[in-house]
Amino acid sequence: MANKKINLNIPEVQSREQRLGTIIAWDGKASELSKQSAYERRGCEGKGKQCRLCEVKGPFTQGSVCSEQMVECQAGNIRDAVLIQHSPIGCGVGQIPYNSIYRNGLSLRNLPVENIRIICTNLDESDMVFGGVKKLKQSIKDAYERYNPKAIFLGTSCATGIIGEDMESVANQAEEELGIPIIPLTCEGFRSKHWSTGFDATQHGILRKIVRRNPKKQEDLINVINLWGSDVFTPMLAELGLRVNYVVDLATVEDLAQLSEATATVGFCYTLSSYMAAALEQEFNVPEIKAPQPYGFAGTDAWLREIARVTHREKLAEVYIQKEHERIKPKLEGLREKLKGVKGYVATGSAYAHGLITVLRELGVEVNGSLVFHHDPVYDSGDPKQDSLKFLIDNYDDVPSFSVSNRQQYQFYGLLKKTTPDFILIRHNGLAPLASRLGIPAAPLGDEHLAIGYEGMINLGEAVLDVLAHKKFHQDLKEHVKLPYTKWWLDQEDPYILAKKPEMLNEKIL
């Protein structure tokens, strides 16, 4: 894994496409993508070229998200810190939805509800010519005086990347003056073609500037890298005698500092946790749990057993696994009966989608199609046990229509038309209205921990039944709305036809 070594001595995180070979457009069977990814070879010295994926590159992008927004929802969600977006005001528009998400997340965790702490330097035309360092320095002082934070994060933007602002020097000077960590995060939108690099940028800054270098190990503390969902890990891992250290979202600076003191690190989704978990193992000797993700019986069993092996709690794990199997199976049988013959579709982030398809198939739901927003051929550990796509195929069969697209609505129409699901599971709700116009209800997974573990199978099954109860509304909607596409496009059978034949854009038929 020498060629994948994470370097915390440099201020800029390496992008996912450089580090992992990430792609954002592909179409075919899940088994074909898994085979082309050649996962087991990615961790081997000198063999990276054998694993490059052929990416279907479209002639335009209809809409997406950027790395800076992921920094907003990570660094901006640390409870006793402040994030300063060194950007034009337009980049700060994400503060509105992220404030709502932050408040809801605090409520789910029974924490005091408050507003998010994000400041924008509001760069203008003059700053683009003469530089915005003065505004940044003033914003750091204002943030310190207004909030008395334990740390201040500085997020870059496309604008600051274009003019080459020296964020590292400003951060070092301010840190010396204020005596708290000032952490620059390189997350310009054009730095990476997929927004998941923003997760890595935040985690890189935390690892460089906040995590304790001389940790005192806590043998019962386990890091859980997560988003802002409900607290499902505490009761699960308490069965093994472990305390949970939730990071990054909704954590405190002290929670982040003690990352190096934990006995192990886990995550609910390898897209999110890959970078930080691998770096904690490499730099701080905190083992990363290398196992399937905790979804469905097979994944959750393997995940718990690997945690137990690493933390020496094997007997406790076996007692818990047996108890949960006996408890869940009767409920699961009832849900399977109700969901017999139902077809589902998953449209979420990459590794998360693999887990959700697993749970739907445990419920007896047919899943013949899925859209993931990107694909990582490998995660940072390079360990095949973390190959979540291969685990899905090996244990729950293939997905015939498995597409990679970074939230392109014009493609999503064709994918749904081809697979004709009864409902969709979705994380980024911008695609849900299109599904509704096709008469397909969507279950927006606002609590991303809903499907985790044994109880997660019951939770997701009940959520699917609830969304199916509203299907008539969406079918009525379909009869009274018009899709914003030409008849020519509506008649196309291949959603990726424009990527394969971009010259069609110049034809009169469009």
| Sequential DSSP letters for 349-409 | -HHHHHHHHHHHHHTT-EEEEEEES-B-SS-TT--GGG-HHHHHHHHH---SEEEEESS-H
Tell me whether residue 467 is in a domain: yes
Domain boundary among 194, 211, 239: 194
φ, ψ (nearest 5 deg) of residue 184: -75, 135
**Is the CB of residue 192 less than 8 Å from the CB of residue 67?**
yes
Contacts of 186 (CB under 8 A, 6+ apart): 11, 12, 13, 156, 161, 167, 201
φ, ψ (nearest 5 deg) of residue 443: -100, 100
pLDDT tens digits, residue range 245-267? 999 999 999 999 999 999 999 99
pLDDT tens digits, residue range 97-144? 999 999 999 999 999 999 999 999 999 999 999 999 999 999 999 999
Domain boundary among 194, 224, 259: 194
| Packed helices 350-362 and 296-311: angle between N→C axes, nearest 10 degrees | 120
Q: Which residues, in sequence order, are bridge partners of residue 344?
A: 367, 423
pLDDT of residue 39: 57
pLDDT of residue 502: 85
Most distant CA atoms of the chain, gap in Å:
69
pLDDT average, residue stretch 86-98: 92
> How many angstroms separate the CA atoms of 151 and 144, rounded?
9
Domain boundary among 168, 194, 220: 194
> How many angstroms separate the CA atoms of 216 and 222, rounded?
14
Confidence of residue 367 (pLDDT cuts 50, 70, 90): very high
Higher pLDDT, 429 or 413: 413
pLDDT of residue 38: 75
Tell me whether residue 162 is in a domain: yes
pLDDT of residue 51: 52
> How many angstroms separate the CA atoms of 289 and 79, rounded?
27
Tell me whether residue 439 is in a domain: yes
Length of the chain: 510
> How many angstroms separate the CA atoms of 199 and 70, rounded?
6
**Is the CB of residue 25 less than 8 Å from the CB of residue 496?**
yes
> How many angstroms separate the CA atoms of 171 and 444, rounded?
38
Confidence of residue 461 (pLDDT cuts 50, 70, 90): very high
pLDDT average, residue stretch 447-459: 96
> How many angstroms separate the CA atoms of 264 and 303, rounded?
12
Tell me whether residue 320 is in a domain: no
With H, G, I as helix, E, B as strand and everything else as coil, classify residue 344.
Answer: strand
Alpha helices of 423-484 — where are they, by DSSP H? Answer: 432-437, 453-468, 471-479
Confidence of residue 52 (pLDDT cuts 50, 70, 90): low
Mean pLDDT, the chain, integer: 92
Tell me whether residue 496 is in a domain: no
pLDDT average, residue stretch 216-236: 96
Tell me whether residue 146 is in a domain: yes
Tell me whether residue 124 is in a domain: yes
pLDDT average, residue stretch 197-207: 96
- How many beta carbons lie within 10 A of that of residue 11, not counting itself? 17
Count of domains observed in the chain: 2
DSSP-derived secondary structure letter, 427: S
> How many angstroms separate the CA atoms of 145 and 158, rounded?
28
Confidence of residue 341 (pLDDT cuts 50, 70, 90): very high
CA dihedral 123, 125, 126, 131 (to 10 degrees): 50
Higher pLDDT, 12 or 60: 12
* pLDDT above 70: residue 44: no
| Packed helices 350-362 and 453-468: angle between N→C axes, nearest 10 degrees | 80
* pLDDT above 60: residue 494: yes
pLDDT tens digits, residue range 371-391? 999 999 999 999 999 999 999
> How many angstroms separate the CA atoms of 254 and 289, rounded?
23
Confidence of residue 47 (pLDDT cuts 50, 70, 90): very low
Side-chain half-sphere exposure of 411, counting CA atoms within 13 A: 31
The listed range with the strongest mean pLDDT (36-50, 66-80, 298-312, 431-445) is 298-312
**Is the CB of residue 370 less than 8 Å from the CB of residue 394?**
no
> How many angstroms separate the CA atoms of 238 and 242, rounded?
5
For a pLDDT cut of 70, what percent of the chain falls above it?
96
Tell me whether residue 203 is in a domain: no
Side-chain half-sphere exposure of 155, counting CA atoms within 13 A: 35
Q: What domain range includes position 165? A: 67-194
pLDDT of residue 509: 52
* pLDDT above 90: residue 446: no
Q: What is the CATH classification number for the domain harbouring 480? A: 3.40.50.1980
Q: Are strands 25-28 and 401-405 parallel, antiparallel or unpaired?
A: antiparallel
